[in-house]
Amino acid sequence: MFEAERIVEFGMCDSAGVLFFAKIFDLSHSVYEEFILRSNVKDSYFENDSFAIPLVNTTADFHEPIRLHEVLIANLIVSKIGNSSFQLTISFVDEDGIKRATTKTTHVFVSKKDFKKIEIPEEFLNLLKENQN
């Protein structure tokens, strides 16, 4: 499991001071990016000429309101691994350990040449398995 901390900023909230629903995906993406940046695959991921890893599906569940300036702990796990795709589950909990929201994102490895699915490269597969639930 990978863990990161996030603070709910003013621009993420609606007029009631609650996280605007779509901003949970911004938070999730920033956690995913930090996960990659802290790994040994960061150079292969961001400067790769042969493949891309687009997002193909995403969902979010809100369990409790998320308010302005709250500190959230994001727990990222790899919940599924396929031949060419993987799913991440990120749970956002507050400082008291209460689950506030959960996102699931599915990503697929594709060739940049023709955008067809390819198998997950070994170095990425190893990283995914290390963080699998």
pLDDT bracket for residue 131 (50, 70, 90): very high
Topology classification of domain 2-130: Thiol Ester Dehydrase; Chain A (3.10.129)
- Tell me: the pLDDT tens digits for 54-112? 999 999 999 999 999 999 999 999 999 999 999 999 999 999 999 999 999 999 999 99
Q: Is the pLDDT of residue 2 over 90?
A: yes
104 — phi, psi (to 5°)?
A: -130, 130
Q: Show the beta-strand stretches assigned E in the chain.
A: 2-7, 51-52, 55-62, 71-81, 85-93, 99-108, 110-111
Q: What is the C-alpha separation between 24 and 38, in angstroms, rounded? A: 21
Q: Is the pLDDT of residue 45 over 90?
A: no
Beta bridge partners of 105: 58, 88
Q: What is the C-alpha separation between 73 and 93, in angstroms, rounded? A: 5
Q: Is the pLDDT of residue 46 over 90?
A: no
Q: Is the pLDDT of residue 133 over 90?
A: no
